[in-house]
Amino acid sequence: MERKNEFERNMERNMGHYVKKVVKVIAMIVFGGILFLLANYVLMQLWNWLMPDIFGLGTITFWQAIGIFVLAKLLFGFGGGGKKGGGPRHKRRFNASNRCGTMRRDFKEWQHYDQFWKEEGQQAFKSYVERIKNENHDTE
């Protein structure tokens, strides 16, 4: 008998927990829907206030504002960095990473470029151009 009462109490507690979760989920869905409709209303009002005067465009209805909003989300993404790496930790990791790879490591070698070009580069380029001219001349 005592075990049955304990089981019933656990079931009541679990049911209360699940009911709270369901109510929270429904409240979040309703809140999200209201937020979505409010955002579209603001978009419509801003469009009708700014676009006709600035660009000479016509005014839009609420449903057209929803269409523009959905189109913008499709074209420009659904936003939010979240846990996918859009936060500051990702930026620090990127800045600390080896961004340029081998070019960054070999940059010190470029300090000799001007001297090379003066000594060997111009002459090497001229001989290359002559070789290309001779090869093109032979094929024609």
Q: Which whole-number Å values give the CA distances from 52 to 39, 48, 66, 104, 128, in the listed order?
A: 20, 6, 18, 51, 62
**What is the DSSP track for 3-18?**
HHHHHHHHHHHHHHHH
Q: Is residue 49's pLDDT more than 90?
A: yes
Q: Which residue from 55, 80, 51, 54 is spatially nearest to 68, judged by alpha carbons? A: 51
Residue range 66-94, pLDDT digits in tens = 999 999 888 888 766 555 555 566 555 55
What is the residue-averaged pLDDT of the chain? 80
State CA 29 to chain mean position distance. Answer: 25
Helix (H, G, I), strand (E, B) or coil at 116: helix
pLDDT value for 81: 55
Q: Is residue 108's pLDDT more than 80?
A: no
Q: Which carries the bigger pLDDT value, residue 56 or residue 94? A: 56
Determine how many CB atoms are found less than 10 A away from the CB of residue 21: 10
Determine how many CB atoms are found less than 10 A away from the CB of residue 60: 17
| Measured distance CA(72)–CA(34) in Å, rounded | 19
Least confident piece of the model among 14-28, 33-47, 88-102, 118-132: 88-102
Q: Are 66 and 40 in contact (CB under 8 A)?
A: yes
| Mean pLDDT to the nearest integer, 8-29 | 88
